[in-house]
Structure 1
C-alpha cells in the first residue's frame, strides 16, 4: 500500500499529464505557439485536429469553433454532446438537399457530418460497454458512404481477407480509366478510423493523380468494434494482404506502391515494411522506434519503476487512482481509456505490458529505404521519437522536423495538413516516378 500511495503522490505532483517530464528546453516550444481552442491542452489538440480536416472538406471552421465555445474543458461528456449536436444538425442539412440536383453539396455536407460523429465518439471509450461507441460509428459510416458514392470516381469499400480476420479498406481511384498509377497505402494509429484519412492525405493524393487505399487493422476502429480484435505487433499480417489485393487491380502500378503510417502507425508501417518488400517507400508521420520506451519517457520515473516491479495489482491501483483523481489531465485519462479499449482489457498493467511488443529493435536492419521519418517539434505525445527512429535507420531515412514556429510542429501534422502533404508527397513523387512504369 505504501508503494501505491507513494506513486500516486508522485504522479499528482507531476500533473498527471503526458508531458510530465520537462520538455521546455526548446525555446520555440516554451511559449504558446498558437491561439488555444480550449484551456484544456488535450481538448485544444483534438479541436485543432478537427479544424485541420477543413482544408480537405472534413469540417467547416465556423461550425467547429461554435461547438468549441460550448465545450467544458476536461468534460468528456460535454465534448461528446456538442459534437453530437453539431453532427446531427449538419446531417439534417444534408438530408434536406436533393442529391440528384446537388450532388456536390450532399457529398460535402455528409463528409462534414461524418467527421463530427467521429469526434463525438472520441472520449467515450472509458466505458467500454457504452452503446454509443457502436451507434455513432454505424451512423458515421453510413453517411460517409453517401459521400464516397458521390466522389468524381466513387470510392469503394472492400474487406481484404487476412489470416483469420479481414482488413476493412476503402479504395480511391484517381481516374475513371484503368491506366496503372502509383498507389499509396495509408493507415492510421491509436485512435479514430480510416474515414478521417480521406481528409488527412487521400484527397491530396488523388489531386496528384495517384490512387490511394486506406485500411484498418486489429485494435483499430472497425476491427475492434465488429471483429472484437485487439492490436497485434506483427503488422505485416495486415499490410501484406492489402498489397496482395492491390496486385489484382489493373489500375494499380504494382511497381509504385508506398506505405504511409500516421501517429502510432509511424511504428506499425515500418514494422510491416521490414517484411513486405514490394513497397518502394515508407512514410512515418511521425516516426517511432520503440513504443514502450517513448511512451514511458513522458512520465515520472516512478511509473517505470512500479511497472518493472511486476506488481500488477499495485500498478493497476495506482493508475486507476491517478486516472480518477480530480486533477488528472485529459491526456492521461484519454490515453489510458483508449488503450484499455483498443487492447480489450481493464488492467493498465496488462496494457503497458503489451506496449513492449511494439518495437523495431529486432527488425530495424530488415527495413529497406527510403523511409520518410517525420518528427513534430512540439509533439504532446511522443516528443523526439522520430529522431530516434531516423538515427537507427541511418542513411535509409529522410528525416524531416516539422517546426512549431511555422505552425506545423504538432503531433502528426495536426493543424498543417496542406503543408505536410506538400512536403511528404513532393518527396514521394520522384521515387514513385522512378519506380513506376
Structure 2
C-alpha cells in the first residue's frame, strides 16, 4: 500500500481508501491529494479540517452547477462531496458536536447526487426490533423481475452510502441487484438510532432477507450475503444461521474480533469507534464484549458456497484470519489471497479494488 504519510499507516490507509473509491465517482485524485496535503500526520483535528475543506469545496461546485441547471456536473460533485465529508467525520469522537451534523451533511450530499443518477437508488427502511434499519436498494439498468440480490453490510466504520463506490458498480455490471444497509453499529443505525453492534448478526440479516422477499423484485432462491472488513465476521455469522442465503461472500476475513483487538493499545486510532459501536466506557469493557465475536464453533455451520477474499499484507486483520476460516469451512469454499508484493494486498484490497474481481466473477456465475 502506498504511504502518503510514511510514518502514519492509518491516515495513509484512509487516503488510499478514498482514492480507490474515486474510480467509482467517490473522489477526484488531485482533490484528494490537496486535502491530504493539508493534514498533519497523527493530528485528528487537521484530518477533519482537511477532508471537510475538500467536501465543502465539492459541495459548493455542486450547488453552483445546480443553480445553472448543469445536473450532471452537480450530481458528480455531490457524490464526491459526500465521500469527502464522510471521511472528515471518520475520526471524530462520538460526543463531538460535529459528528452527527457531519454525518447528516454527507448523507444529504450523497442523496442529492445519487437521486439524480439515470438509474437512482431507492431509499429503504426495514422494521427492526421496534426501530428500523435503513439503506438503499439498487437494480441494474433494465432489470427484470426475480433478479438475484446481494444483501450487503459494511464493517466497523462503514456507512451504507460508502458501499455505492465500488461494490455497487461491480455488481450492476454483472446483473446483480444490491441491498446495502446500515446494520447495528453502523451508519445511521448507530449515529441516529443508537443501535449498537451485536455478535448475532444473523438477526438483522434475516430481517433484511425477509423484508427483501416481501418487498423487492428479487428471486428468493438467489439471495446472498456479503460484508466487508469487520463485516467478514458478520457475513459468515449470518450465513451460518440463516440457511436460505444462496452464497456467502467474505470481503476480508475475521476469525475472532477479540483476537484482533486483544493486543491493540487503548489509544489505537480506531479505539473510540470500537467503544462507540459496543457501547463501552473503556477498551477493557469493549474487549470483553468482543469475546462473543468469534467464528469458533460457527464457521462449520455454513452450508452454502462461500468465497473469501483477503490481502496477504493486511495489517488490520492479518491473513491468518482468512486461512483459519477457510480451513474451518465444511461447505463448498473458495479463497482469493492477493500476495503482499502486489497492489490490492492491504486491508480489504483498499489499494486496488480490481483484486476483488475473482469474487464478483464467481458471484456472477453462481447467481
Q: TM-score, normalised by structure 2?
A: 0.95
Match of 2:291 in 1: 356
Match of 1:94 in 2: 62
| Distance (Å, rounded) in 2 between the aligned partners of 1:88 and 1:250 | 35
Distance 1:295 1:390, change over 3 A: farther
1:413 corresponds to 2:353 = no
Give the deviation of 1:408 after TM superposition: 0.9
Q: Is the 8 A contact 1:188 1:261 kept in 2?
A: yes
| Distance (Å, rounded) in 1 between the aligned partners of 2:191 and 2:4 | 33
Match of 1:257 in 2: 223
Distance 1:170 1:187, change over 3 A: same
Give the deviation of 1:340 after TM superposition: 1.2
Q: Which structure 2 residues correspond to residues 254-293 of structure 1 after superposition, within 5 A? A: 254-293=220-259
Match of 1:123 in 2: 91
Q: Is the 8 A contact 1:289 1:360 kept in 2?
A: yes
Match of 2:339 in 1: 403
Q: Is the 8 A contact 1:111 1:147 kept in 2?
A: yes
Q: TM-score, normalised by structure 1?
A: 0.80
Match of 1:388 in 2: 324
115, 123, 129: which is aligned to 1:163? 129
Match of 1:154 in 2: 120
| Distance (Å, rounded) in 2 between the aligned partners of 1:129 and 1:253 | 42
Give the deviation of 1:129 after TM superposition: 1.5
Give the deviation of 1:246 after TM superposition: 1.4
Q: Is the 8 A contact 1:118 1:192 kept in 2?
A: no
Distance 1:131 1:250, change over 3 A: closer
Secondary structure class of the residue paired with 2:223: strand
277, 281, 286: which is aligned to 1:346? 281
Q: Which structure 2 residues correspond to residues 137-286 of structure 1 after superposition, within 5 A? A: 137-176=103-142, 178-249=144-215, 251-286=217-252
Distance 1:38 1:276, change over 3 A: same
| Distance (Å, rounded) in 2 between the aligned partners of 1:206 and 1:431 | 15
Between 1 and 2, higher relative CO (CA 8 Å, sep ≥ 6) is seen in 1
Q: Is the 8 A contact 1:162 1:237 kept in 2?
A: no
Match of 1:12 in 2: none
Q: Is the 8 A contact 2:303 2:330 kept in 1?
A: no
The structure with the largest alpha-carbon Rg is 1
User: Can you list the C-alpha shifts for 1:282-327, whole angstroms capped at 9, x where unaligned?
Assistant: 111111122112333x55xxx8xxxxxxxxxxxxxxx4xxx3xxxx
Structure 2 residue runs without a partner (length 5+): none
101, 105, 108: which is aligned to 2:76? 108
Match of 1:425 in 2: 360
Secondary structure class of the residue paired with 1:154: coil
Secondary structure class of the residue paired with 1:260: strand
Structure 1 residue runs without a partner (length 5+): 1-32, 304-318, 324-331, 433-437
Secondary structure class of the residue paired with 1:255: strand
Match of 2:34 in 1: 66
Match of 2:25 in 1: 57
